[in-house]
Each structure stands twice: as structure tokens, then as C-alpha cells.
């Protein structure tokens, strides 16, 4: 797999999952600081990422999980 350097203006999308109030026993999970929960019609809500300059390091807070999407990564997969 080969990664090409992102352009100077590229961004990445980050999804930061944390427990409410930093309490690992909390029944509320936060996505980018907003409480997650089903919608009124019991569907999964829209998961909105934070856009970050892709040239900056990914910051992961203690006791959290981060998913990063690199839409401009330029991944090339070699087939056989």
C-alpha cells in the first residue's frame, strides 16, 4: 500500500468518542462533545465529524477513542 502526501489544503475528518463527564461508568457517550442517542423515530443520528487540517497531529484525549478519515490520502493498492 502506498500513501501519497496530502495537498497543503487537505483536511481530515475526526470522530472523538468520550464518556460524559469523563466517567467511564456513564451511560452517555459523546461524539465530538455532543451526546449520542437515538432520534425520536429510533434511528441512529447523523454522525458529524470535526474537520481538521491534515498536516496537524491527531490528538487523542485520555480514556477516549478517535476515528480519523483521510479522504485525500491518495492510497494506491497494488493488485496481483
Interval 25-31 mean pLDDT: 95
Q: What are phi and psi of 11, to 5 degrees?
A: -125, 160
pLDDT at 1: 44
Q: What are phi and psi of 20, to 5 degrees?
A: -60, 135
What's the residue count for the chain? 80
Residue 9 is predicted with a pLDDT of 65
The domain segmentation of the chain, as residue ranges, is 2-72
Euclidean distance between CA atoms 66 and 17, whole angstroms: 6
Q: Can you give the pLDDT at residue 58? A: 94
Q: Identify the bridge partners of residue 76 per DSSP, sorted by sequence position.
A: 2
Smallest CA-to-CA distance from 66 within 12, 8, 5 is with 12
Amino acid at each position: 500500500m502506498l500513501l501519497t502526501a496530502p495537498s497543503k489544503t487537505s483536511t481530515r475528518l475526526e470522530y472523538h468518542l468520550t464518556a460524559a463527564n469523563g466517567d467511564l461508568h456513564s451511560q452517555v457517550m459523546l461524539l465530538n462533545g455532543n451526546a449520542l442517542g437515538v432520534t425520536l423515530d429510533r434511528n441512529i443520528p447523523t454522525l458529524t465529524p470535526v474537520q481538521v487540517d491534515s498536516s496537524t497531529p491527531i490528538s487523542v484525549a485520555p480514556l477516549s477513542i478517535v476515528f480519523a478519515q483521510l479522504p485525500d490520502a491518495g492510497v494506491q493498492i497494488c493488485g496481483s
